[in-house]
């Protein structure tokens, strides 16, 4: 008989998923399509043993699902869903609506139909995709990154210009359509970056998201949670960041809204005017790794201590497969060695 994860783990080095299970918390990672297709055995072993929830990094986005307007291709997404099922992991859906040209197929980026035609296209996509997975996906990022980075008047949230902008109330529409197509137990999320802390430089956008969600609730829109992406870095003021996140989490608790930390990574480099300046592996110091570990551990501590935070997902788990390949933002290194961040995460879950 196959052993359970709890029976299989060594007593002195418990798996993250077993510790999280004891706390009633989901801990997971984005799954890299290429790593699965390449048959990378160490990748799949860590993925299976350490996490109780996964999200597809790209396989559930328009660019993967819609090679043409008339064709849906669920091959990659179904592979990840089946792997999650085999590993007894929950599967999180990401994402149904996104502005990003890189995540959309070329035919969609060139689409210049009327607002009515765009609405019909959006409703068709959401309905088809959500019904395809049904109860196999427990939560969906329905709308991703719709807020502008600059929010001069957060009480009137400014939205990005995108292909969907000329659809009246497209965010409300997307949530209502997803709700119609999904099983009643499916949780529907709005997901964004630079919104986790309601202190310091991120406060205007964080406040704008709160106003966006509050307005949706007042209009009866079926939204259940928000995703804090949390692409941060080792230069963050850790104390201020954690205090601001905790305060913000509690604002959503007051609204009855669940929080997931959805895309956590902690590089050593920084963004400047839209360009990322990485810290290569040979430039990382022990102090950098300790700071990275502290941030991972403190974020997970918030998940453990705040009742409405239900999930923690990193945007990948190994530096071998990361959207920031010139940096080292994840808890495992390129050779699958555990960094101090993994120990810090265990410590947070054991507290």
| Interacting residues of 11 by C-beta distance below 8 A, sequence separation 6+ | none
Active-site option among 85, 218, 263, 306:
263
Contact criterion met (CB below 8 Å) for 198 and 206? yes
C-alpha 297/C-alpha 17 separation (Å) is 15
Active site residue 145: yes
For residue 259 the two structure tokens come to: 């929080």
Q: CB under 8 Å to 213, separation ≥6 — which residues? A: 190, 223, 226, 252, 255, 257
Does the active-site annotation cover 263? Answer: yes
User: In Å, what is the CA distance from 331 to each residue of 151, 219, 272, 334?
Assistant: 33, 41, 24, 10
Q: What is the largest CA-CA distance in the chain?
A: 61
Which secondary structure element, helix H or strand E, spans residue 213, and what is its range?
Answer: helix 203-218
| Other beta carbons less than 10 A from residue 114's beta carbon | 10
Question: Pick the catalytic residue: 9, 57, 123, 145?
Answer: 145
Active site residues: 145, 263
């Amino acid at each position: 008989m196959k052993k359970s994860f709890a029976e299989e783990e060594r007593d002195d080095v418990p798996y993250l998923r077993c510790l999280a299970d004891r706390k009633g918390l989901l801990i997971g990672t984005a799954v890299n399509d290429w790593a699965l297709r390449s048959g990378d055995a160490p990748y799949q072993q860590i993925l299976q043993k350490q996490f109780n929830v996964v999200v597809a990094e790209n396989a559930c986005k328009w660019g993967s699902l819609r090679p043409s307007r008339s064709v849906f291709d669920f091959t990659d997404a179904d592979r990840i869903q089946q792997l999650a099922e085999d590993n007894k992991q929950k599967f999180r859906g990401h994402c149904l609506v996104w502005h990003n040209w890189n995540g959309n197929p070329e035919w969609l980026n060139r689409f210049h139909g009327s607002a009515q035609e765009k609405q019909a296209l959006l409703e068709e996509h959401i309905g088809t995709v959500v019904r395809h997975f049904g109860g196999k996906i427990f939560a969906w990022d329905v709308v991703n990154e719709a807020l502008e980075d600059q929010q001069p008047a957060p009480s009137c949230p400014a939205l990005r210009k995108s292909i969907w902008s000329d659809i009246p109330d497209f965010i409300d529409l997307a949530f209502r359509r997803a709700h119609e197509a999904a099983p009643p137990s499916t949780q529907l999320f709005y997901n964004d970056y630079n919104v986790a802390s309601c202190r310091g430089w991120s406060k205007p956008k964080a406040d704008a998201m709160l106003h966006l969600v509050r307005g949706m609730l007042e209009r009866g829109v079926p939204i259940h949670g928000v995703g804090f992406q949390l692409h941060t870095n080792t230069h963050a003021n850790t104390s201020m960041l954690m205090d601001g996140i905790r305060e913000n989490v509690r604002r959503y608790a007051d609204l009855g809204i669940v929080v997931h930390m959805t895309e956590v990574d902690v590089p050593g480099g920084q963004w400047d005017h839209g360009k990322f300046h990485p810290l290569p592996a040979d430039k990382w110091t022990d102090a950098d790794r300790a700071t990275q570990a502290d941030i991972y551990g403190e974020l997970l501590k918030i998940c453990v201590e705040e009742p409405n935070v239900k999930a923690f997902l990193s945007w990948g788990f190994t530096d071998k497969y990361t959207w920031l390949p010139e940096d080292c933002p994840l808890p495992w290194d390129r050779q699958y060695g555990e960094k101090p961040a993994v120990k810090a995460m265990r410590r947070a879950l054991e507290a």
